[in-house]
Amino acid sequence: MPFTKEKPHIYYEVKGNGPTILFIPPPAMGHLTFRYQYKLSDHYQIITLDIRGDCKSEKALPVTMELFVSDIKRVLDELQVEKAIICGYSNGGVIAQAFAASHPNRIIGLILIGGYYEVASFWLKKEYQLGIWIAKQKWMSLLASALSFNHFSSKKAANEMAIEMKQTDPDMLEQQYAIGMNYSNKHSLTKLDVPLLLIYGARDIYIHHYQHLYQEVIKDVEIAYIDKSKHQVPTKHDHECNAIIKQWIRSKDLAKE
C-alpha cells in the first residue's frame, strides 16, 4: 500500500494520468470519500488520501493546520507533482485553502465542495461540536456508521467506508475537529490568485452565504449548485459533480498548465 516515506506515514492512492487533482476529505472519512471521483482518472491523475490519524494514516499527536498542510505537500513531493488542482470537501476545503495560501506555487486551481473559509454559522458550529463530543466518547463505530450510510446509497460502499473509518484515532479526530472549527482562512483569501470553483448542494442552505466573500475578494470564481442535493455532493451526486469539475477545468484551460 502507498504511504509517504517520512513519518507520520500518510496513506494515499493514485489513479490515472494527466493533470493532477488532489482530493482532501473531511475528518475521519478518508480516501473512500472520493471513490466516485476515480471516474475522472480517464482524463486526470487523481490523488486521494487519509488525513493523519484517519483510517490508514499514522497517528501523530499533537496536530496543527500547518502539519495538515505539510502532509499534503509531502504527498505531492513524493509523487513528484509540481502543481496540482486541489479539491477539498467540507472541512477538507479548509485545509485546501490553507495549503493554497501557504504554497501558491504548487496550485493551479482550487475546488471547494460544500466549502467555507471559517466556521461562522450556528448549525455548522454545532456539527463540529457534535463531532468533538463523539470523538471524546470514542464512539468511532457510531460515527463510522452514521457518516458512511449518510453519504452512500450503496450498502457495499457504505460498509467499506465504515470499516476504514473505524481505524481512525479518536484523540486525533477530536483535535482535527477542533482545529477546523477554530481556524479561519478569511484573511488569506486575498492571496488566492488561481481560479476557484465552488460546488454547493442546492439544499445545503446554511453553507451558501460563504460564497459572497469569495466573490468579493477573488477575481476568478465560479459557483455551481446541484439540484436536490444536500451536503453529500461527491458521493450522492457524483455524476453532476464530476461533470462540473471536468467542464470547469476545460473552460479554464487548466489541463494545459
Which residue type occupies 118?
E
Q: Which residues contact 24 (CB under 8 A, 6 or more apart)?
A: 49, 51, 72, 86, 87, 88, 89, 92, 93, 95, 96, 99
130 vs 99: CA distance, rounded Å:
26
Q: For the chain, percent helix, then strand, then coil, each to nearest 5?
A: 50, 15, 30
12 vs 150: CA distance, rounded Å:
23
Cα distances (angstroms) measured from residue 110 to each of 6, 56, 106, 157, 159: 26, 26, 11, 27, 30
pLDDT value at residue 104: 96
Show me where the domains of the chain are located.
12-119+183-256
Q: 72: helix, coil or strand?
A: helix
Cα distances (angstroms) measured from residue 75 to each of 22, 37, 132, 238, 257: 9, 18, 27, 25, 20
Q: 48: helix, coil or strand?
A: strand
Q: Which residues pair with 48 in a beta bridge?
A: 13, 23
Give me the half-sphere count of Cα atoms (radius 13 Å) on the Cβ side of residue 134.
22
pLDDT value at residue 257: 57
Burial 165-187 (b: 16+ CB within 10 A, else e): bebbbbbbbbbbbbbbbebebee
Cell of 244: 462540473
Q: What is the rounded (10 degree) CA torsion for 212, 214, 215, 220?
A: -160
What is the secondary structure of 195-240 as a DSSP string?
Answer: -EEEEEETT-GGGGGGHHHHHHH-SSEEEEEETT--S-HHHHSHHH
Task: Phi first, then psi: give them for residue 195, nearest 5 degrees.
Answer: -60, 140
DSSP state at residue 178: H
**Chain-centroid distance, C-alpha 194:** 18
pLDDT value at residue 254: 87
Per-residue model confidence as pLDDT tens for the chain (257 residues): 699 999 999 999 999 999 999 999 999 999 999 999 999 999 999 999 999 999 999 999 889 999 999 999 999 999 999 999 999 999 999 999 999 999 999 999 999 999 999 999 999 999 999 999 999 999 999 999 999 999 999 999 999 999 999 999 999 999 999 999 999 999 999 989 999 999 999 999 999 999 999 999 999 999 999 999 999 999 999 999 999 999 999 999 887 65
User: What's the order of all strands across the beta sheet hosting 45-49?
Assistant: 12-15, 45-49, 20-24, 84-89, 107-113, 196-201, 221-226
Report pLDDT digits (tens) over 3-59: 999 999 999 999 999 999 999 999 999 999 999 999 999 999 999 999 999 999 999
Kindly state which CATH superfamily the domain 12-119+183-256 is placed in. Answer: Alpha/Beta hydrolase fold, catalytic domain (3.40.50.1820)
